[in-house]
Chains A and B, each alone.
Chain A
């Protein structure tokens, strides 16, 4: 498969454990945040999003936490499975009229799940 990052931070967890992936974002004007999962040879796949008027959002086995004070985002995966092994990216979106108006991606974290 393709390597999406040679120097990515790596998180290694045991199957069944919970995983926490962290991300620091850059723009205090960003009002929308997304987590993507990218498997080898594929494009990024949407996992969960959160708007800046929230600090927590839950999906199926995933939870995103947003701390605007320190510009920090985290993704929690419950009962991690081998199929969760992938590179995870956070992305921030500043609104039009701000400094960006486009998605800015973090460098990514490689999650490796040991059976």
Chain B
């Protein structure tokens, strides 16, 4: 079956703009988690969605938000972009989600560069 897909793969934005990233989970998976990966901080959890509800949230400012649709596809949005938001944004899907000892499958990521 098809893996997790993320679009776009690469994105360049300027400070102050906003951006929307998309993630399509593996068919049948209901949980989607988002992570930010940077050289300095490593992989950091942003939020998890399950059945269209945000179930858990990491320690990121309110400029980072997300949503999940009825088909389990998810989007994350970053408003008022800052240079420090430049990162690889990864999406992972699983059947039941985090906390359920459930294997997560990662997409290839979206590389966001803020100039």
Contacts and interface: CB of A to CB of B under 8 A. Distances in A.
Nearest to B9: A41
A93 interface: yes
A103 B108 CA distance: 18
B42 A108 contact: yes
A45 interface: yes
A32 B101 contact: yes
Given A3-B39, A44-B90, A102-B58, A94 B106 contact: no
Interface residues of A, number: 31
Contact of B37 (A4, A32, A96, A106): A4
Contact of B39 (A4, A41, A51): A4
Which label, helix, strand, loop or mixed, suits the secondary structure of the A interface? Answer: loop
A31 B106 contact: no
Contact of B108 (A5, A34, A42): A42
B98 A103 contact: yes
A56 interface: no
B64 interface: no
Interface of B: 4, 33, 35, 37, 39-40, 42-45, 48, 55-56, 58, 88, 90, 92, 98-101, 103-109, 111
Given A4-B39, A102-B56, 7 more contacts: A2-B88, A4-B42, A42-B108, A44-B90, A96-B99, A101-B56, A102-B99
